[in-house]
């Protein structure tokens, strides 16, 4: 019996980009069926309602409503999304932080193949990215907060309330001023990229980010130790000691 193809929409404000994406998807015609293309959020909403897609290739930057605002208008996101974007640091960092798939223009064919295969796997296994998309939209509205999932609750924590973050391989443990701890499947670099170089977070060694606002003191000796208001202390990377001390002075100045 023939397996139904994945109903696919392409949303991009540039006609050339829509046609190029349609061309790039031709090798996947055995699993994908492009049921429509939209030039803006209004057209996309109409097509989503009419065609009930399972996969959306969604341009982030569009005049009028952008790709995020389009998703925010939907009551239910019951399809997979592959974001397509030119380099835009904050939007890209937010997408990556929420573990969602994206393609950078100009599109690399190998990355496209990987993204399509991942979307196909999620659809076949009946998993969904809806939770990550909702978190993405919330984090974009509240860029100084992070969403943490605790049982059946979603808790938003202010960056200012995060005392420090410890890296544990592919996971990080986030310590909050209230005494709460959260384990999240993110690298320390993900936090740095997401909040950006001007945030209060400082990488003091390979495995620890500290919030400058929670530093009580640091020692001036050969071994520099930072003491936090939580009672914890951490040794600063000797190789980058002067750079880190200067960064603390700037962020607390």
Locate the domains of the chain by residue range.
Answer: 6-138, 157-252
List all residues 6 or more positions away from 8 whose beta carbon is below 8 Å from its beta carbon: 25, 32, 33, 34, 35, 53, 54, 55, 56, 57
CA 97 to CA 115: how far, in whole Å? Answer: 16
CA distances from 72 to 18, 68, 69, 154 (A): 22, 6, 5, 18
Task: Find the angle CA(106)-CA(188)-CA(210) to the nearest 5 degrees.
Answer: 135
For residue range 57-116, list pLDDT tens digits in order: 999 888 888 898 899 899 889 999 999 987 666 577 778 777 789 898 889 999 999 999
The pLDDT, as a whole number, for residue 233 is 96
Amino acid 10: pLDDT: 98
Which superfamily, per CATH, for 6-138? Response regulator (3.40.50.2300)
pTM of the model: 0.63
Cα-flanking dihedrals φ and ψ of residue 110, to 5°? -70, -40
CATH topology of domain 157-252: OB fold (Dihydrolipoamide Acetyltransferase, E2P) (2.40.50)
Under-50 pLDDT residues of the chain: none
Per the CB < 8 A criterion, the answer to whether 232 and 164 are in contact is yes
What residues contact residue 181 under an 8 Å CB cut-off, 6+ apart?
173, 174, 175
Q: How much is the pLDDT for 74?
A: 92
């Amino acid at each position: 019996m023939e397996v139904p193809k994945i109903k696919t929409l392409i949303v991009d404000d540039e006609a050339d980009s829509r046609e190029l994406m349609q061309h790039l998807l031709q090798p996947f015609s055995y699993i994908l069926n492009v049921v429509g293309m939209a030039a803006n959020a209004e057209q996309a909403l109409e097509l989503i309602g009419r065609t009930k897609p399972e996969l959306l290739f969604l341009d982030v930057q569009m005049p009028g409503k952008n790709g995020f605002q389009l998703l925010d208008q939907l009551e239910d996101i019951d399809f997979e999304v592959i974001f397509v974007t030119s380099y835009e640091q904050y939007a890209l960092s937010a997408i990556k932080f929420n573990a969602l798939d994206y393609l950078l223009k100009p599109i690399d064919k190998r990355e496209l193949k990987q993204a399509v295969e991942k979307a196909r796997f999620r659809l076949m296994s009946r998993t969904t990215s809806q939770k990550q998309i909702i978190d993405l939209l919330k984090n974009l509205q509240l860029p100084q907060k992070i969403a943490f999932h605790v049982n059946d609750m979603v808790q938003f924590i202010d960056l200012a309330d995060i005392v420090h973050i410890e890296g544990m391989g592919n996971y990080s443990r986030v310590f909050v001023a209230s005494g709460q701890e959260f384990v999240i499947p993110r690298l320390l670099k993900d936090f740095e990229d997401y909040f950006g170089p001007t945030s209060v977070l400082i990488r003091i060694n390979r495995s620890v980010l500290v919030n400058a606002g929670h530093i009580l003191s640091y020692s001036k000796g050969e071994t520099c130790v930072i003491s936090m208001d939580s009672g914890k202390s951490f040794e600063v990377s000797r190789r980058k000691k002067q750079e880190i001390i200067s960064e603390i002075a700037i962020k607390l100045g």
